[in-house]
Structure 1
Amino acid sequence: MNLFKYSLSAVVGVVVLASSWAWANEAAQNAAAPQHWKPSSLRVALTAMPTGDVVRGKALNTQLMCASCHGENGIAPTRNWPHTAGQKADYTYKMLLDYQSGLRSEDERSKLMLAAVEPMSDQDMADVAAYYASLSAHEVAAKAEPHAEVEKLVRRGDPARLITPCASCHGVRGQGGKAAAPALAGQSEKAFIRTMTLYKSGERNNDVNKAMGQFAAKLTAEEIQQLAAYYHMR
């Protein structure tokens, strides 16, 4: 009888322990899950962004090895990484927050960035962002006339497909807009195509209210390539 009670107590103890572990593990995962942006939460984060120090940001670009991928002057040495020269400070700051929280973890490049950003403070991120914003955007020597259809997509969108104009968020010259909408002028075509493809597939979802995901989902692969060429030559 005593053996039975002991066995029953042991079983109950194991079940309770397992249940507690499962609950704690689930709670930890939920607590660690990155929160998706809403207009209000992004506004709060950008309002709290420290004033960036350009000189310190330039030093951090080298010290933290940012330059190894994005270049000493924000011009990526290969097409595999985006140019950061001339990028809006609020966009860069938001991206670094996204990497640090794990909200951006869509591919191996994101995992490298997560590791790079992990030790950075908010001030560090603001300083690096300020440095990139102080630089002139990458300029492409050869200028080509944009295709009429892509120009229409940029300036007027496509009402039939409920596609808003790119310019409504990113500016008529691709200079960027409000609420951390990035500058696109001079961006690497390969980086642009990869970004839009990830948004289109839903693998990247760090945009506010999934606005970019909804936009990209309606584009064809050819349109994405045309837009990449258009902004690369702005």
Structure 2
Amino acid sequence: MKPKQTRRVVGPLLAAGAAIGLALPGVSLAATAEKGDVVQWTPGEWHTTMAAMPQGDPSRGEELHDDAFCASCHGEHGESVTGNWPRLAGQRAEYTYKQMLDYADHRRREDNRAHLMSVVSEDLSEQDMADLAAFYEQQGLPDRAKPEKSHPAHDLVSVGDPSRLITPCAACHGSNGSGGINESPSLRGQPVDYFVRTMELFKDGHRHNDVAKGMSQFADPLTDEEIAALADYYSVD
């Protein structure tokens, strides 16, 4: 493995958060810190960071995937083995890279799963992260027919809800869930349980690593029924 590169220093609050998490591995990090403790991206800072993202090497990323036993949670090729973990196969490289940065710098510490990923990501260089992200993107998204217009989530995906200032999902994530530009993730094929849990974390304010709070603002007005419908819309089960 290449020597670890010098990583960006986010600030002493994040270092303190890491110490808390390592001292209390059985305790949810969401319970040990308030939202305001986490130093988040500004759009300008993230744009600069993304522009400096290293070119990823999928072959080396596959080696890292194997060496770090990523398959034990995310599947042999990132396809996810249970509903507890996200599908990484076919995910946009920029998104995966951003999440690993956020885990390593403790911008994401919403639950014990995030703590586990922080421990893993802290040992990765930015080149390692880019290589892993390139490997997963190369695997491709699952095939699926676009849901019918009669699907209960169709309008939220296609037109949103102007009365509640809800932007259509497709505006950022693509008409068939294949992802948008830059760090906007692919949603197609995400496990239903993982999708619902993620939306609830954004809605409840426990996850807040989204640049400019885009997902938090989207999720806040959604009902449980709407979140479940969206999870079904993007799944391939």
User: Normalised by the shorter chain, which TM-score bucket?
Assistant: 0.7 to 0.9
User: Hey, what's the Cα distance between the residues in 2 that align with 1:159 and 1:54?
Assistant: 41
In structure 2, the partner of 1:45 is 49
In structure 2, the partner of 1:124 is 128
User: Hey, what's the Cα distance between the residues in 2 that align with 1:51 and 1:201?
Assistant: 35
In structure 2, the partner of 1:11 is none
**In structure 2, what residue type is equivalent to 1:189?**
V
Report the RMSD for the aligned CA atoms in angstroms: 2.0
Match of 2:76 among 49, 62, 72: 72
Residues 193-212 of structure 1 mapped to structure 2, 5 A cutoff? 193-212=196-215
**In structure 2, what residue type is equivalent to 1:38?**
T
Is residue 228 of structure 1 aligned with residue 231 of structure 2? yes
TM-score (norm 1): 0.83
Does structure 1 retain, via aligned residues, the 8 Å contact 2:14–2:105? no
Match of 1:101 among 73, 96, 105: 105
Once the two structures are TM-superposed, the CA of residue 93 in structure 1 deviates from its matched residue by 0.2
**In structure 2, what residue type is equivalent to 1:156?**
V
Higher Cα Rg, which structure: 1
User: Hey, what's the Cα distance between the residues in 2 that align with 1:92 and 1:30?
Assistant: 20
Once the two structures are TM-superposed, the CA of residue 224 in structure 1 deviates from its matched residue by 0.3
The unaligned stretches of length 5 or more in structure 2 are 1-10, 17-36
Percent identity reads 49
Once the two structures are TM-superposed, the CA of residue 178 in structure 1 deviates from its matched residue by 1.4
TM-score (norm 2): 0.82
Once the two structures are TM-superposed, the CA of residue 150 in structure 1 deviates from its matched residue by 1.1
**In structure 2, what residue type is equivalent to 1:204?**
R
In structure 1, the partner of 2:29 is none
| Structure holding more helix per residue | 1
Dislocated runs of 4+, deviation >3 Å: 27-34, 142-149
Does structure 1 retain, via aligned residues, the 8 Å contact 2:91–2:137? yes
User: Hey, what's the Cα distance between the residues in 2 that align with 1:154 and 1:199?
Assistant: 17
Residues 53-72 of structure 1 mapped to structure 2, 5 A cutoff? 53-72=57-76
